[in-house]
Amino acid sequence: MVTYGHPVHDDDLVFKALADPIRRILLDALYERSGRTLGDLENVVNLVTEMTRFGVAKHLRLLEAANLVITKKSGREKLHYLNPVPIQQLHRRWIGKYTEQHASALLDLQTELENES
């Protein structure tokens, strides 16, 4: 997959972005409170592991490329927001489909067992 500066929503990018524990910490931090500065997020990461601001910025760029994070200027600050849309799509495509079948199979089993008694 090739992107030319224009981040395309893509399952590969989202899965790759989610595959790293630091990036999941960043997403959790933004879920808890969205609209945070790089400095703020650097502090959050450093509660768990030592990492430079440059390292945190690199992780944020990957999250942005996967469309999981959106940055917006607010005065002189750049704020990072969580974008839940790709996760919703991923859930629909990769999780909901399977769990629905699972759930309906359990419901069938329940009906069957109840009818037996």
| List 16, 34, 38, 62, residue binding other proteins (CB under 8 A) | 34
Kindly report the length of the chain: 117
Residues from 57 through 86 that contact other proteins (CB under 8 A): 67, 70, 72, 81, 83-85
Min dist. Cβ of residue 52 to other proteins (A): 16
Class of residue 44 by CB neighbours under 10 A (exposed 0-12, middle 13-18, buried 19+): middle
Q: Does 35 bind other proteins (CB under 8 A)?
A: yes
Q: What is the DSSP string of 65-79?
A: HTTSEEEEEETTEEE
| List 13, 14, 17, 25, residue binding other proteins (CB under 8 A) | 25
Name 30's Cβ contacts closer than 8 Å, sequence gap at least 6: 36, 41, 69, 80, 81, 82
Residues binding other proteins (CB under 8 A): 6-9, 21, 24-25, 28, 31-35, 48-49, 67, 70, 72, 81, 83-85, 87-89, 92
